Amino acid sequence: MARESATDEATSKTEINQVDVRNKRELREFIYYPAELYRDVPQWVPPLYDTEWEYYHPDKNPVFEHSEAALWLARRDGETIGRIMGIIQHRMNERFGTKNARFALLDCIEDLEVAHGLLNSVEEWASERGMETITGPHGFSDSDPEGMLIKGYDQRATIASYYNHPYLPRFVEACGYTKDFDYRVFRIEIPAEPPQIYAKIKRRLERQGFVLVEFSKTRHIKPHLDNFVKILNETFESVYGYVEMTPEEGRKLIKDYLRIMDPHFIKFIYKIDPAEVGRPIDPDADEVAGFLVGMPDITEGIQKAQGKLLPFGIFKIFKARRTTKQLDLFFAGVTEKYRNRGLSAMFAVTFIRDANELGLEYIDAHQELEFNHKVHDEWSRFESREYKRLRVFAKELTPGGLERYKQATAEVILRDRIAPPEEHQEYRL
């Protein structure tokens, strides 16, 4: 990446410098800056640094085959005081006919001028490349963290989610950004028994030839992983923010997480002839219908390991996995052919059983679009509440750009179901 700089005249000692990702020293500064910013914040969780380096390298991250990105650091008197990433996801823009850029990984000290300088650097970079709007925080796709925390600052972050100081969303708004949509995160109490209707639906589906495949060893999951990517692409095809994974991207996602996952909470459903129920499933030949992926929360272990798996961090992570009371949900998908058939009940029965056996007490349902009422209604069957909320912001870079962006994404961002931002302004308190 070319090296550029922009200096905010109002704060002459603050410099916003673009980072060359091939310069290991600068990239290390970018990656580790939040560890200093959130050093005294018990809710912040570091990334897994073993894989974090690869995320920024075009030679190591296959997503760069259809994306471009740039990084910036803010410095004052030689001290790093902020960072930001800019992304143009070309495949997403082609899919929706948009000219939209993204900002991600915005972190800075409590200084509006620093936040303004960082965002302005991304905006200028995006405008030079013909972009009409900018939204964020987003990563390259839905498999990356997205949304800025606006509710739940007293809760520890989960894997693949942001944590930020309460002043940051205020700064983003002050720089001309407005709400695009929110993600809701529910906490669900795990019951001693699943709802009776779920058990009834599970028995009916089994009679129809739906077979739930469960695992006790990670190595047993590997033959099914191509089906994971297949369903992920089909399930989220109509969800804004998701970009279809290539086989290479899917393999990288799986490689990054599989070694720390609990195989008991990775489950697949296949559809076979009812007369054949009882035989082993062949993942290469049988029809896959859905999957669900969760894991006992390991973030306390990641904190104790300071984000490092090796040489001993992995043991701290596994200990946290054994002792936590929280189950995190990550991915779920059902092929279009079998949606609205009750497969979620089939998954829930076994998840509740396994959670109770391990002494887990509640679920973090991960981020769900605020207009996904179908999923939210499902949680009403349990004792549940929204306990976190994250916001995606948008800003116009050229006249009329924001309206064109909204029209192009109207089918996937259901704005008539989006609450006014004033209803959720806890970060103003």
| Residue that has been written with the tokens 């109002």 in this structure | 10
**284 found inside a domain:** yes
* Inter-CA distances, 94 with 97, 136, 231, 362, 409, Å: 5, 18, 22, 40, 12
Residues 346 and 257 grouped into a single domain: yes
Residues 291 and 421 grouped into a single domain: no
| Residue that has been written with the tokens 């939040």 in this structure | 34
**66 found inside a domain:** yes
What end-to-end distance do the CA atoms of the chain give, in Å? 40
Provide the Cα torsion 88, 159, 184, 232; round to 10°. 60
pTM: 0.90
Count of CB atoms situated within 10 Å of the CB of 163 = 22
CB-CB contact of 148 with 168 (8 Å):
yes
CB-CB contact of 18 with 2 (8 Å):
yes
**378 found inside a domain:** no
- The angle, 0 to 180 degrees and rounded to 10, between the axes of the packed helices 196-207 and 343-357 is 120
Within 8 A by CB and 6+ apart from 113, the residues are 8, 10, 11, 14
**383 found inside a domain:** no
Residues 145 and 239 grouped into a single domain: no
Q: What tokens were used for 333?
A: 């998908």
Which stretches within 259-295 are classed as H helix? none
| Residue that has been written with the tokens 């992920």 in this structure | 232
**294 found inside a domain:** yes
Q: What pLDDT sits at residue 424? A: 66
Write the CATH number for 214. 3.40.630.30
Q: What pLDDT sits at residue 11? A: 46
CB-CB contact of 43 with 155 (8 Å):
yes
**153 found inside a domain:** yes
DSSP string covering 345-379, please?
HHHHHHHHHHHHHTT--EEEEEEEETT-HHHHHHH
Domain count, the chain: 2
Q: Is 231 helix (H, G, I), strand (E, B) or coil?
A: helix
E strands of 51-128, at which residues? 67-76, 79-89, 100-108
CB-CB contact of 158 with 296 (8 Å):
no
| Residue that has been written with the tokens 């030689």 in this structure | 78
Residue 307's domain comprises 191-360
Q: Is 54 helix (H, G, I), strand (E, B) or coil?
A: helix
Q: What pLDDT sits at residue 103? A: 98
> Of how many residues is the chain composed?
429
Q: Closest Cα to residue 363, out of 342, 378, 346?
A: 378
Q: What pLDDT sits at residue 402? A: 97
Cα–Cα distance measured from residue 147 to residue 160, given in angstroms and rounded to the nearest whole number: 11
Residues 206 and 352 grouped into a single domain: yes
Residues 116 and 248 grouped into a single domain: no
CB-CB contact of 386 with 423 (8 Å):
no
Q: Closest Cα to residue 228, out of 159, 341, 331?
A: 331
Residues 132 and 268 grouped into a single domain: no
Cα–Cα distance measured from residue 125 to residue 43, given in angstroms and rounded to the nearest whole number: 32
Residues 217 and 281 grouped into a single domain: yes
Tens-of-pLDDT digits for all 429 residues of the chain? 433 444 444 445 789 999 887 789 999 999 999 999 999 999 999 999 988 888 998 888 888 999 999 999 999 999 999 999 999 999 999 989 999 999 999 999 999 999 999 999 999 999 999 999 999 999 998 888 999 999 999 999 998 899 999 999 999 999 999 999 999 999 999 999 999 999 999 999 999 999 999 999 988 988 898 888 888 888 777 677 677 777 777 777 777 778 888 999 999 999 999 999 999 999 999 999 999 999 999 999 999 999 999 889 999 999 999 999 999 998 888 988 998 899 999 999 999 999 999 999 999 999 999 998 888 888 888 999 999 999 999 999 999 999 999 999 998 899 999 999 877 666 665
Q: What is the pLDDT of residues 290-307, one digit of tens each?
A: 999 999 999 999 999 999
